[in-house]
Each structure stands twice: as structure tokens, then as C-alpha cells.
């Protein structure tokens, strides 16, 4: 079927181009439905044109509404909140002395063994056990 390496490269290029083209069409369709500034009839018209004249409609859509696509896409992403290390420790980790006290109480009640207590203590202190 394929005679040379160049045939494989050419075939791979066209497969890549086709998949990229499909991704663009899907992204445009998603953006059409995400858009709040156009009505239902205009959305339907864009979709019909995208189905019957996909290449031309895709190029026109990117030219006419390209800037809005970026803004709508950015609007859907959640705001990233950066926390300091101290805030993360407050939320996700208990105080090591509290953890050791809880483990000691469990050991004294006979719920855990001395070895388990030592492992919990080492973990709370950040040591390898």
C-alpha cells in the first residue's frame, strides 16, 4: 500500500490535519452554544452552515467571533487561588502535637499498639519510620 517512508510521512500529515480540523469544528460548535450574545436562531444558522459549509464557515467564524471565543473560554475557567504554605498546612494538616496526643490516647485505651503509636508519632513529626 505504501511504497516509501515519504508516503508514510505524507499520510501521517493528512491524518494529523484531519484530526486537527475536526477538533476546530468541535471547538467552534461548543463556542456557538456557549455564547450568550447571540440568539437561538443565529446559533441554529451557524450550526447549519457549519454542517454544510464547514471550512468556509469555520474560517468566517474565527474571523468574526475569534476574540469573543477567547473571552468566553477564559470566562469558563475557574479562578486559580494561590495559598501560602501556612494556609495549606492549616487546612490540610493537623498540629503534630494534637496528632501525637490522639495517638497516645488510643494507645492508652488499647486500641492501637505501641508500634502503631510510634509510626503515627514519626509520621506527625515528618520522620521516616
pLDDT for the residue 37 = 86
Whether residue 65 sits in one domain with residue 13? yes
Shared domain for 18 and 66, answered yes or no, is yes
> Is 129 contained in some domain?
no
pLDDT tens-digit map of 42-99: 999 999 999 999 989 989 998 988 888 878 777 666 655 566 666 666 666 567 888 8
Q: What is the pLDDT of residue 91?
A: 61
Does this model's pTM top 0.75? My answer is no
* Residue 88 or 32, more confident: 32
Number of domains in the chain: 2
Look at the block and give the residue holding cell 494556609: 87
- Domain of 21, in residue numbers: 5-76
Both 69 and 92 in one domain: the answer is: no
pLDDT band (50, 70, 90) for residue 129: low
Q: How many residues appear in the chain?
A: 129
pLDDT in the model for residue 47: 92
As given in the structure block, the three cell numbers for residue 39 are: 440568539
Amino acid at each position: 500500500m505504501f511504497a516509501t517512508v515519504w508516503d508514510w510521512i505524507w499520510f501521517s500529515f493528512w491524518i494529523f490535519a484531519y484530526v486537527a480540523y475536526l477538533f476546530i469544528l468541535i471547538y467552534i460548535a461548543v463556542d456557538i452554544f456557549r455564547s450568550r450574545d447571540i440568539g437561538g436562531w443565529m446559533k441554529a444558522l451557524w450550526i447549519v452552515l457549519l454542517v454544510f459549509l464547514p471550512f468556509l464557515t469555520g474560517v468566517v467564524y474565527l474571523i468574526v467571533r475569534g476574540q469573543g471565543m477567547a473571552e468566553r473560554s477564559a470566562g469558563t475557567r475557574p479562578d486559580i487561588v494561590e495559598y501560602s504554605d501556612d494556609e495549606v498546612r492549616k487546612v490540610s494538616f493537623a498540629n503534630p502535637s494534637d496528632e501525637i496526643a490522639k495517638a497516645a490516647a488510643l494507645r492508652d485505651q488499647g486500641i492501637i499498639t505501641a508500634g502503631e503509636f510510634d509510626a503515627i508519632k514519626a509520621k506527625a513529626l515528618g520522620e521516616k519510620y
